[in-house]
Chains A and B, each alone.
Chain A
Amino acid sequence: MIDVARLGARAGDFALADVSFTLPAGAWGIVLGAAGAGKTTLLETIAGVRAATTGRVSLRGADVTTLPPERRGVGIVYQHAFLFPHLSVEENVAYGATDRTWAADVAARLGAAVLNGRRVGALSGGERQVVALARALAPRPDILLLDEPLAAVDPRGRTRLRRELRALQRELSLTVLHVTHDFGEAGTLGDLALLLDAGRLVQAAPPETLFRRPVSAAAAEFLGAENVFAGRVTPLEPGAGDAPGTMLFRAGSLALVGVGDAGDSRDVAHAVIRGEDVVLAREHGGHTSARNTLDGSVSEVVTSGALARVTVDVGDLSLVATITAASVSELDLLPGARVVATIKATAVHLCW
């Protein structure tokens, strides 16, 4: 378990401040944030290679805030790997290992053993990261801190490594805290996602919640929400069956029913809608459970592989829908085509 309470640390002029979260034992935590948000500083402070200026770090239930790194039992893998250039691949993997058999086994499973005999300086970025992963796991830590450890690995190798890491995590009951810029990785691996911004923890939630219900418009935009509108909210007349927090959002000529925090009385808000939650049709259909039905015209279609990003002008705003390229063909969606966009109220997330 990693338990961090009101943690602060400094890295040059940068300050990490007031970060608190708990990652249960055996869970996989994902750390997200823009460059310079403090992700690496957070990992280094948990590992003990950077001193905490405030707050507390507890590992496995014990306060380790003042313990040196070598007594924390934590493995760390940096994006740049930092393999020791004066040692061979095998010597790097064995550096902290107490059980050579296990070190060789983990190196083989991750694909580092095939690099034995190669000079560290001759390895590619991806190969370095593989060796660094094996080196970090060789001492059998029960907590692993990963700072974009797969960023330089080719896509096929990344999928294989991700699978192998997941298997090792389950076998060893590893608690993993993993910095990544890959939202797909965050969704597939993470049990808990932490969003950092300017040294502060903005949101801590399961990845699905983080992506669906970001705490702010800035968080939504960072997390890749295609539609973020600024406007005002007004409470809805009490209706039958509306979820708590259901409100009417207006931005220019656009009016949407969405769901926000029922306890918040602010009227200036943002509506966040993910592109995949917007359903497009060429004409109005029959009855629908969706609360929002909008008429508009297609202004742009951008196809990327199997998916397409369709921009629909709705009044004076543009709404982006993410649909399959096959649907674009079936609906004959060309610029100028009239369409009907439907969105469930629960897919319109209202935040401040």
Chain B
Amino acid sequence: MSAHAYRPRPAQRAASAGVVLGALVLLALLLLPILALLRRGGLAGLAQLGADPELRASLLLTAGTATVATLLTVLLGTPLAWLLARRRLPAGALVSAVVDLPLLVPHPVAGMALLLAFGRATPAGAALATLGLAIVGSATGIVLAMLFVAAPLYVGAAREAIARVDERYESVARTLGDSALRAAWRVTRPLSARGLLAAAVAMWARAASEFGAIVILTYNPKVASVLSYDRFTGAGLDAALPVAAVLVLLALVPLLVLRSLRASVAVGEPAR
């Protein structure tokens, strides 16, 4: 049989070209606005970091509140993620739906819901206020809003990271004397650590970029997203651009961390 070079048929070539073109269009839609923003405001934003105390303060507030929200979620959400990954909960599907729900709620609506649940007039809000943790116009409110909108990202990713670790590691640890929780701590936690860290970074990035829910609860003090909006509505696009550009540049940090973590996250079945 003579060897012929493979030549795709015209219909196959057209389909391949369509796939590539579609991908390029989407990439352009994602990239062009970011590039335009950085071109107009990038350098000015970096220069302004040194000279604009309000911008520096809002960035610190954003990073601080996102960190607190993330730490709280890691503390409370990791056991929940473990339960969802490892146990058949009586209402497991319902619990999963409750965890995912905030991802589907428009963020200003989430802010209103938080206001209704934890505002000063509510019992929970009053209790928080007596502890000095009023949620309106405070960092507490910002943390709460960030936690509400971003915790589902952490719990979902942490659940996947734990589920990737074969359950039989825990089984072996238990036959060696560990309780279920001790086996999870001594075996599953270290084996899923990279995945948990990646989940926390993703949550932190999402929390730091939140606007809708925060602006309902706490306009002041201003996180960076609220500051850029405030300058846009108060002084126009040119005044808001440097702040916006700095936010985009800072978003690259967690993005790079995530990429490096995901590159080496697979743990589970032994290689041989």
Residues of A that sit less than 8 Å from B by CB: 44, 47-49, 68-70, 72, 74-76, 78, 80-86, 95-96, 121, 123-125, 128, 132, 135-136, 139, 141, 152
Contact = CB atoms under 8 A, between A and B. Distances in A.
A82 B175 contact: no
B123 interface: no
Which of B168, B172, B178, B191: most chain A CB closer than 10 A? B172
A81 B174 contact: no
Given A80-B270, A85-B270, A86-B191, A70 B168 contact: no
Interface in B172-192: 172-180, 187, 190-191
A125 B272 contact: yes
Contacts of A125: 272
Contacts of A82: 166, 168-169, 171-172, 270
Given A76-B172, A85-B270, 19 more contacts: A44-B171, A48-B174, A49-B168, A49-B175, A68-B180, A69-B175, A70-B175, A70-B178, A82-B171, A84-B173, A85-B191, A85-B267, A86-B191, A96-B173, A128-B270, A132-B172, A136-B175, A136-B176, A139-B177
A75 B175 contact: yes
Given A86-B190, A86-B191, A95 B176 contact: yes
B187 A124 contact: no
Contacts of B168: 49, 78, 80, 82
A141 B176 CA distance: 9
B179 A68 contact: yes
B270 A47 contact: no
- Ordered nearest first, which 5 A-B pairs have the shortest CB separation? A96-B176, A49-B171, A69-B174, A125-B272, A86-B190
Contacts of A95: 173, 176
B3 interface: no
A248 B181 CA distance: 63
30 contacts: A48-B175, A49-B168, A68-B174, A68-B179, A70-B174, A70-B176, A70-B178, A76-B171, A78-B172, A80-B269, A80-B270, A81-B270, A82-B172, A83-B270, A84-B169, A84-B172, A85-B191, A85-B267, A95-B173, A95-B176, A96-B177, A121-B271, A123-B272, A128-B270, A132-B172, A135-B172, A139-B176, A139-B177, A141-B175, A152-B272
Interface in B222-272: 267, 269-272
A81 B272 CA distance: 10
Nearest to A121: B271
Task: Place the interface of chain B in its size category.
Answer: 20 to 34
Which of B174, B176, B180: most chain A CB closer than 10 A? B176
Contacts of B169: 82, 84
Contacts of B191: 84-86
A136 B179 CA distance: 16
B239 to A, nearest CB: 51
Interface string B117-153: 0000000000000000000000000000000000000
Contacts of A44: 171
A84 B168 CA distance: 10
Nearest to B179: A70
Nearest to A51: B88
B174 A49 contact: yes
Which of A69, A78, A125, A139: most chain B CB closer than 10 A? A69
Contacts of A72: 175
A72 B174 CA distance: 10
B45 to A, nearest CB: 42
Nearest to A47: B175
A128 B272 contact: yes
Nearest to A72: B175
A125 B270 CA distance: 9
B270 A69 contact: no
A78 B191 CA distance: 19
A68 B175 CA distance: 9
Nearest to A94: B176
A69 B177 CA distance: 8
A161 B179 CA distance: 31
Contacts of B176: 70, 75, 95-96, 135-136, 139
B59 to A, nearest CB: 36
B171 A69 contact: yes
B187 A76 contact: no
A245 B178 CA distance: 54
Contacts of B171: 44, 47, 49, 69, 76, 82
A154 B270 CA distance: 19
Nearest to B269: A80
Nearest to A78: B168
Nearest to A84: B187
Which of B166, B173, B175, B272: most chain A CB closer than 10 A? B175
A72 B191 CA distance: 26
A123 B172 CA distance: 19
A135 B175 CA distance: 11
Contacts of B172: 76, 78, 82, 84, 132, 135
